[in-house]
Chains A and B, each alone.
Chain A
Amino acid sequence: MSTDYSTRRSELIKQTQDEMAELCQRALQAGPTLASMANIKTAESPHKVIYREGKMRLLHYKTRLQRTHDTPILIVYALINRYQILDVQDKSMVKSLVDSGFDVYLIDWGTPSDSKSTIDDYVNYYLDAMVDVVRKTSGSEKVSLVGYCMGGTFSAIYTSLHKSKVKNLVTIAPPVDCSKETTVFGTISKHIDIDTIIDNLRNMPPELQHLFFFMLKPFKHHIEKYNQMVDRHEDELFINNSLRAERWLWDTPPISGEVFRQWVKDIYQRNLLIQNSLTVGNNTINLKNIDVPFLNIVAEQDHLVSPESSKALNYAISSKDRTLMSFQTGHVGLCASSYSKKEIWPSVGEWLIDRS
């Protein structure tokens, strides 16, 4: 290696480090400015709250269109961050389903008021109560469950136990076979001492969730994103959309301690669900009990839940009518992107229309 080459290389390394440090500092400085712009309003599809359970709410979406399908849809969101990501302006999954003529309901889990609720409480008490309210309100004996991420896993567990109330099951990127997890979450969960954390902190606090989010795409999501916002600060539409996304990203309620303990230990570490060995209340979950029409939606570029973990559900159930739709997008891109509006939700709508 010539001296010139070696010198040039050293200069480039130094230059790269200086430039990256500047980008990092700039992103860090952008934070407080962005935080002060709190007056960003998120527009949600019109709805009314038809049921409350503690801080949980069941939303019923309004429409001026005639509802043309008999089976109502109940959307089951995850316990991580809030449901508004499913109802993002002009990319709204909720609006897409409402505009397709469905009677749509959604569970807002709210902020947990206790740390003791387990998967059993969430599935057999809260979710079951919400399903019953939807059945009563709509006059339909059965509902179509549409579960996102953790909500997808809960919906599958629910269907295995209460299939008489479920007409169709749609899961979006559900963690199922965690032996196939290769994401940061998957690796972290193998090592985390969840007992010590929950025993001491009671709930899974937002700060720790942010830490794990941060590790997912550190430079693209936490450095370049903020630099883009600084660079494009005069582009009002871009800034408003970005700030809305920021608001969702940092609006993180704690996760109830016991449900998170069981989630990490039984679903991720012991991988009990796919082995039909997960205990929920007095029941052992057997995924073979699921025999309703089933649609599984996965993202090939999902960095939160490995698509292979989700796909396993298609082979674990006994439904004759089962479909796997795989899309070239990421986890959030499945439900809140121009791509999902154009490609995913029309396909899901068609699948549901044929079965509702």
Chain B
Amino acid sequence: MIKTDISNVRSRNSKQISITLERGNKASLKSEFQDSSRLNENSEDSSCMYQNDRSQSLQMSHLITCMSRHQQFLLRAWNESSEQVADKILASKKVGKQQRRALQIDTFERVFTNLFCSSEFCSNICEMLKLQTVLFKQSSQMYFQVKEIFGKIYGLPFEEESN
């Protein structure tokens, strides 16, 4: 039997800890070394976590940029549709209430469908989906909720594009 003083290792505990090792039994000793090396691993973990946080933060920032771009796409289409409707009404002699509604729906549909079929819009929305999937790991937290989209188009305080 040997006695090993490992007080230096655990000096922060400021008390003497003795462990008893049987000769030849390296397993326990090894496990102590592993424990101490785990401290280093933990410090690496912290660094890794920090990097993960940083990466997440960058992804979140990228997501916000995509969302902002997304809103600007929608706002632009919203304004363009309204202008087209106004011009069509001005160009015609008289437009009744029902005709106006049909004109509005048709015009908005055409402008928005063109937008939704565009490569620029689709690539942005796909980037949003990818980031949201990675960040939230579930679809229920998707920003772009179907039932809310038009509430968002009208309800969100859009920021006008700077140029």
Interface size of B in residues (CB-CB distance below 8 Å): 46
Q: Provide the bound-state CA to CA distance between A24 and B133, in Å.
A: 28
Which of A110-118, A179-187, A329-337 lines the interface with chain B? A179-187
Partner among B81, B113, B134, B146 whose Cβ is within 8 Å of the Cβ of A200: B134
A191-B119, A191-B122, A197-B130 given; A205·B139 CB < 8 A: yes
**Cβ of B71 < 8 Å from any Cβ of A?**
no
Which of B25-33, B46-54, B86-94 lines the interface with chain A? B86-94
Write out the residue numbers on chain A whose beta carbons fall within 8 Å of the beta carbon of B64.
Answer: none
**Cβ of A233 < 8 Å from any Cβ of B?**
no
**Cβ of B158 < 8 Å from any Cβ of A?**
no
Write out the residue numbers on chain A whose beta carbons fall within 8 Å of the beta carbon of B108.
Answer: 20, 218-219
Which of A6-14, A42-50, A162-170 lines the interface with chain B? A6-14
Q: Provide the bound-state CA to CA distance between A80 and B159, in Å.
A: 37
**Cβ of B35 < 8 Å from any Cβ of A?**
no
Partner among A8, A184, A196 whose Cβ is within 8 Å of the Cβ of B116: A184
Determine if B116 and A9 form an interchain contact, defined as CB atoms under 8 angstroms apart: no
Partner among B122, B125, B147, B154 whose Cβ is within 8 Å of the Cβ of A21: B154
- Of all chain B residues, the one with the shortest Cβ separation from A207 is B139
A190-B119, A208-B129, A211-B142 given; A16·B134 CB < 8 A: no
Q: Provide the bound-state CA to CA distance between A5 and B91, in Å.
A: 11
Write out the residue numbers on chain B whose beta carbons fall within 8 Å of the beta carbon of A211.
Answer: 142, 144, 146
Counting chain B CB atoms within 10 Å of each CB, the highest count among A12, A24, A182 belongs to A12
**Cβ of B39 < 8 Å from any Cβ of A?**
no
Write out the residue numbers on chain B whose beta carbons fall within 8 Å of the beta carbon of A196.
Answer: 130, 133-134
Q: Provide the bound-state CA to CA distance between A190 and B147, in Å.
A: 25
Q: Is the interface of B mostly helix, strand, loop or mixed?
A: helix
Q: How far does the Cβ of A245 sit from chain B's closest Cβ, in whole Å?
A: 16
Determine if B137 and A207 form an interchain contact, defined as CB atoms under 8 angstroms apart: no
Which of A25-33, A122-130, A294-302, A316-324 lines the interface with chain B? A25-33
Determine if B150 and A5 form an interchain contact, defined as CB atoms under 8 angstroms apart: no
Partner among B100, B127, B154 whose Cβ is within 8 Å of the Cβ of A24: B154
Q: Provide the bound-state CA to CA distance between A9 and B113, in Å.
A: 24
Determine if A31 and B147 form an interchain contact, defined as CB atoms under 8 angstroms apart: yes
**Cβ of B117 < 8 Å from any Cβ of A?**
yes
**Cβ of A133 < 8 Å from any Cβ of B?**
no
Q: How far does the Cβ of B71 sit from chain A's closest Cβ, in whole Å?
A: 15
**Cβ of A193 < 8 Å from any Cβ of B?**
yes
How large, as a class, is the contact surface on chain A?
A: 35 or more
**Cβ of B105 < 8 Å from any Cβ of A?**
yes
- Of all chain B residues, the one with the shortest Cβ separation from A303 is B113
Write out the residue numbers on chain B whose beta carbons fall within 8 Å of the beta carbon of A210.
Answer: 146
Determine if A16 and B147 form an interchain contact, defined as CB atoms under 8 angstroms apart: no
A9-B87, A13-B82 given; A200·B137 CB < 8 A: yes
Counting chain A CB atoms within 10 Å of each CB, the highest count among B90, B101, B116 belongs to B116
Mark interface residues in A224-256 (1 if CB within 8 Å of B CB, else 0): 100000000000000000000000000000000
Chain B residues with CB under 8 Å of chain A are 78-79, 81-83, 85-87, 89-90, 100-101, 104-105, 108-109, 112-113, 116-119, 122-123, 125-127, 129-130, 133-134, 137-140, 142, 144-151, 153-154
7 closest A-B pairs by beta carbon, nearest first, are A12-B86, A24-B150, A191-B126, A205-B139, A219-B109, A215-B116, A191-B123
Chain A residues with CB under 8 Å of chain B are 5, 8-9, 12-13, 16-17, 19-21, 23-25, 27-28, 31, 182-184, 187-188, 190-193, 196-197, 200-201, 205, 207-208, 210-211, 213-220, 222-224
15 contacts between A and B (CB under 8 A): A12-B86, A16-B82, A17-B82, A25-B150, A25-B154, A190-B119, A191-B122, A201-B133, A211-B144, A213-B146, A216-B113, A216-B116, A220-B105, A220-B109, A223-B150
